[in-house]
Amino acid sequence: MSKFVVKHVAVLGAGVMGAQIAAHLANAGVPVTLFDLAAAEGDRNGIVKKALAGLKKLEPAPLAGAARIALITPANYDDHLDQLRSCDLVIEAIAERMDWKTALYERIAPHVAPGAIIASNTSGLSIDALANALPESLRDRFCGIHFFNPPRYMRLVEIIATSHTQASVLDQLETWLTSTLGKGVIRALDTPNFVANRIGVFSILAAMHHTARLGLAFDEVDALTGPKIGRPKSATYRTADVVGLDTLAHVVGTMEKNLPDDPWHRYFSLPAWLSALISKGALGQKTGAGVYRKQ
Ligand code: NAD
């Protein structure tokens, strides 16, 4: 197997995951260009810069020191797509919407360097369906790369092949993730929400369902489903706020849509109060309001 040398990574999306993945890479000494949409007003890289500033509010801050911060270059899709040419690895981490992801792939494809690996951090959308948005020439170097939140602490990364992915691409990624980032990699099949999220989302939804059934308070459920059962810190409702309630809803939607005959289907719906929070824009930690801090 030829050695996969990652000199520069492009991360697409400076949201909860993209910004933290960029920080995690910078802390490992890997230069990153972090892209997001061009801001409507002011500095066109403003969305990325705001996201990077927001990392400082996380405890402990995921980005260690000015030298590390300098390894992240803010960019936007309107002005800087030519910078993709110098990236050996492109990690897409935009919102969990098939239509938005595929539209972006069509846009970036002409700028991706020959030989680069492209990977999606989707929580559970079909990797095969995402691959279809790429030209055939790039499809065999595309796969899923599913980091967990927060990426600086969570060792697990799932990597997922499509029917087109070259075996060497997964081998190269696995070696790089293990040696550079110290990750524990598993190879998941391209099934809805892959492995860990299929279990994790089910357990969150079941806990929410039983909260209502038993008339429990959110913090009582979090006390029961946190450290007491071996989770280091976060639990059901805190996890939902950290993940982002909109992202959780998209991931639940993937199960609703793709697993209509699953015996656990009755759990695959969000409580109405949670959908109401999403409608109000209270999306959890990223908006400063969610299950715990109401607007
Ligand atoms: P987020 O909502 O925090 O950020 C999404 C980003 O996408 C934003 O920066 C936004 O500007 C950008 N965006 C929105 N619409 C866009 C468009 N049409 N084109 C291009 N960019 C657009 O989301 P997130 O939580 O960082 O999730 C990103 C991806 O990572 C999703 O696929 C999600 O399922 C996955 N993921 C999330 C978590 C988690 O805990 N939040 C964990 C693992 C994987």
Domains of the chain, CATH where assigned: 9-188 (3.40.50.720), 198-287 (1.10.1040.10)
Testing ligand 1's pocket by substitution, the residue of 11, 16, 49 carrying the most ligand atoms inside 8 A of its CB is 16
Compute, in angstroms, the gap from residue 107 CA to the centroid of ligand 1.
17
Compute, in angstroms, the gap from residue 215 CA to the centroid of ligand 1.
33
- What is the CB-side half-sphere exposure of residue 101 using CA atoms within 13 A? 25
Residues with CB under 6 A from ligand 1: 13-18, 36-37, 47, 93-96, 100, 104, 121-123, 147-149, 243-244, 247, 286
Closest approach atom of ligand 1 to CA 92: 29
CA 53, CA 65: separation in Å to the nearest integer? 13
Distances (CA, A) of 165 to 30, 114, 136, 183: 25, 15, 11, 21
Atom 1 of ligand 1, residue of closest alpha carbon: 15
Retrieve residue 3's tokens. Answer: 């050695």
Mean pLDDT of 80-95: 98
CA 113, CA 128: separation in Å to the nearest integer? 21
Contacts of 107 (CB under 8 A, 6+ apart): 77, 81
Q: Over the stretch 2-22, which tens digit does the pLDDT of each residue have? A: 678 899 999 999 999 999 999
Please tell me the predicted confidence (pLDDT) of residue 183. 98
Residue 63 pLDDT grade (very low, low, confident, very high; cuts 50, 70, 90): confident
Residue 51 pLDDT grade (very low, low, confident, very high; cuts 50, 70, 90): very high
Compute, in angstroms, the gap from residue 270 CA to the centroid of ligand 1.
19
Mean pLDDT of 25-50: 97
Please tell me the predicted confidence (pLDDT) of residue 47. 98
Active site residue 146: yes
Q: Residue 234: which of 182, 285, 162 has the closest Cα? A: 285
What count of residues does the chain have?
Answer: 295
SS (H, E, C) the chain: CCCCCCCCEEEECCCHHHHHHHHHHHHCCCCEEEEECCCCCCCCCHHHHHHHHHHCCCCCCCCCCHHHHCCEEEEECCCCHHHHHHCCEEEECCCCCHHHHHHHHHHHHHHCCCCCEEEECCCCCCHHHHHCCCCHHHHCCEEEEEECCCCCCCCEEEEECCCCCCHHHHHHHHHHHHHHHCCEEEEECCCCCCCHHHHHHHHHHHHHHHHHHHCCCHHHHHHHHCHHHCCCCCCHHHHHHHHCHHHHHHHHHHHHHHCCCCCCHHHCCCCHHHHHHHHCCCCEHHHCECCCCCC
Atom 18 of ligand 1, residue of closest alpha carbon: 100
Q: Over the stretch 70-85, which tens digit does the pLDDT of each residue have? A: 999 999 999 999 999 9
Examine residue 62 and say whether the peptide bond preceding it is cis (omega within 30 degrees of 0).
no
Return mean pLDDT, the chain: 94
Contacts of 173 (CB under 8 A, 6+ apart): 4, 117, 119, 143, 145, 159, 185
Q: Over the stretch 190-217, which tens digit does the pLDDT of each residue have? A: 999 999 999 999 999 999 999 999 999 9
Residue of 8, 80, 146, 250 with catalytic role = 146
Q: Residue 264: which of 188, 226, 209 has the closest Cα? A: 209
CA 22, CA 71: separation in Å to the nearest integer? 9
Give yes or no for residue 1 having a pLDDT over 70.
no
Atom 9 of ligand 1, residue of closest alpha carbon: 15
Positive or negative torsion for Cα 86, 109, 23, 44: positive
Residue 295 pLDDT grade (very low, low, confident, very high; cuts 50, 70, 90): low
Q: Over the stretch 100-147, which tens digit does the pLDDT of each residue have? A: 999 999 999 999 999 999 999 999 999 999 999 999 999 999 999 999
Beta bridge partners of 9: 32, 89
Please tell me the predicted confidence (pLDDT) of residue 214. 96
Compute, in angstroms, the gap from residue 174 CA to the centroid of ligand 1.
23
> Which residue did the predictor score with more confidence, 5 or 170?
170
Residue 33 pLDDT grade (very low, low, confident, very high; cuts 50, 70, 90): very high
Give yes or no for residue 294 having a pLDDT over 80.
no
Q: Over the stretch 231-269, which tens digit does the pLDDT of each residue have? A: 777 789 999 999 999 999 999 999 999 998 988 887 878
Closest approach atom of ligand 1 to CA 246: 2
Compute, in angstroms, the gap from residue 249 CA to the centroid of ligand 1.
12
